Amino acid sequence: MMYAGKQPKVKSDQSDKVNNKKYVLKRLWDYLYFYKTKFFLAIFLTVVANVLSLVGPFLTGQTINAMTDGVDFDKVYLFAGLMILFYGISALLNYLLAVAMVKISQSVVYKMRKDLFAKLNRVKISYFDQNQTGDIISKMSYDIDTINTSLATDVVNIFTSSVTVVISFAMMIIMSPILVLVFVITLPISIVITKVLSKLVKKQFRIRNRKLGELNGFAEEMITGQRTIQSYVQETSILEKFDKINEETTDASYKAGYLASTVGPSINFVSNLSVALVGVFGGILYFMGNLSLGNLTSFTLYSRRFSGPINQMSNIIADIQSALAAAERVFRVIDEDEEQADDINALNYQDVKGHISLKDVSFGYLENQLVLKNVSLEASQGQVIAIVGPTGAGKTTLVNLLMRFYELDQGEILLDGKPITSLTRTSLRRSYSMVLQDTWIFHGTVFENISYGNGNVSRLEVEEAAKKARIHSFIKHLPDGYDTLLTDEGLNISKGQKQLLVIARAMLSKTKMLILDEATSNVDTHTEVQIQQAMLNLMKNKTTFVIAHRLSTIQNADLILVVNDGNIVEQGNHKQLLSQKGFYYNLYQSQFA
């Protein structure tokens, strides 16, 4: 939502600069540790399953040794039976491990989504001005799904690989310390290749994720604005822009996938080279009598097990880098600045009268660019205050400050003589009812939409409010009346009907203050005349701030404030302002002359 007179600087959290990897890993670990019992059980299953499977190569070598100088069938049957038993138990444990990791990963992403959504309800309003909706949704869905996939598979693979490498290396030393020297040459090569390529892969995945966020944001905006796009016949222009962003996203994804795909084959080549060298030098040792055939076989199998995890770790490194990049994006949101906390002595103000005072209020969304300048006004209890002026003059900004969506740069706002900074935000905002130009209807029944935010109200109270808002008749003709399900954003009803539903919602409110921001902008003139009495009933005994472009709707206001370029240039009632023949007079003449 953009506010009048506002030119926010768009802030990107998609920087290609590599952030602190240790910090991201620590944050992910904190989420895993939250489910520490399940996680440590999974680690235990990983260790036991791999230890059992790694006994196999040793038993294979012993079986071959039992057949070297004549066949010792008792030993062959024993070793073969043990291999079947160990491999069977290992397979069962790996199945249980897979199930456990799926549960852990789902638990982690559930908590992460919960934390992210909760954070979005606590961040400053300015965050939503500076970030595309589609990009925010991308973090909630795509990025967290990427983390989920990595936790479910990659974490297990890392532990599995670590156990396999350690045990295989230990067994190789036991079998033949001399042959282990082969890996003194090949292992550093694998490490260097992995380190170099992983940096490139991570950087490219960050670029890819940023491009995906931009693509989602653009698509969300264009889908929402299809009526406007088609009415201005801009389909071709929009398609060209989409093609450009789509092409950039595809190129970034290709480069990320290409770099990721080079890691595996590169490490696999070094791994195969290791096995070849083991075969050559192991054969020499065998013919020299320094190594038995069974031990050579076991060593070769362990060398494959030793090299395999290194290759596997390089294969999953792309997924890990993608998950880390996604986690950085999510944690940036979770770490976003929240609204300034209420003072510890802040008053939970309930006995609201509705007297508002502004004293020398100045405010700007950007530094050194004031939208309001030294504004002062008095709104007595029950008064109707109309705020008029050209677009961008600061009318809606004034309302945002009354609700304390933003903090003042200078001056003070008082409610019933109390500075609003001395009140809790919750009690302050509950003191107001609002009907905005941009109506908000959520996925739910008509009854739920009208009763939203008004506590437990009866069907009768809702119907009475709907009647006052002149929407009851329309609702009764819906398929299920007040139980009719409205789609997201209320797209199965007109804008005017949505606005009447929101007005009915405000009718239920028991607050002492009311904000009407172009509250009848989507209602035709005939309907507006019909609900004038309802609006008067709504405003009765409430301090009301009315932002309006239609001057016909505010002629009966107790006080009209004319705002221009951040200043209140005129104030008075309708007749007084017309008699002055100033700014208001010119606005009125432009509409009715």
The torsion angles phi and psi of 492, rounded to 5 degrees, stand at -95, 10
Cα 585 to the center of its chain, rounded Å: 48
Residue 495 to residues 13, 443, 447, 499, Cα–Cα distance (Å): 34, 15, 18, 6
Q: From CA 446, how far away is CA 451, in angstroms rounded?
A: 9
Q: What's the one-letter identity of residue 39?
A: F
56 in helix, strand or coil? Answer: helix
For tokens 């008509």, name the residue: 446
Nearest alpha carbon to residue 327 among 17, 11, 24 = 24
Going from N- to C-terminal start, the domains of the chain cover 22-334, 356-592
Return the CATH number of 356-592, one of 3.40.50.300, 3.40.50.2000, 3.40.50.170, 1.20.1740.10: 3.40.50.300
DSSP state of 481: G
Q: What's the one-letter identity of residue 325?
A: A
Could you confirm whether domain 22-334 is CATH 1.20.1260.10?
no
pLDDT one digit per residue (tens) for the chain, 593 residues: 333 333 333 344 444 333 567 888 888 888 888 888 888 888 888 888 888 888 888 888 778 777 777 677 888 888 888 888 988 998 898 888 888 888 888 888 888 888 888 888 888 877 877 777 777 887 888 788 888 877 777 777 777 778 888 888 888 888 888 888 887 777 788 778 877 877 788 788 878 878 887 887 788 778 777 767 776 677 888 888 889 889 988 998 888 888 877 777 777 787 778 778 777 877 778 777 777 777 778 888 887 777 767 666 666 766 777 788 888 888 888 888 877 777 888 888 888 888 899 888 888 887 777 888 888 888 888 888 888 877 766 777 888 888 888 888 888 999 988 888 888 888 888 888 888 777 778 788 889 888 887 778 888 988 988 888 888 888 888 888 899 888 765 556 777 788 888 888 888 877 888 888 876 666 667 766 766 766 777 777 888 888 877 676 677 888 888 888 778 888 888 888 888 888 888 887 877 66
On whether the CB atoms of residues 49 and 94 are closer than 8 A, the answer is yes
Note if the pTM is more than 0.95.
Answer: no
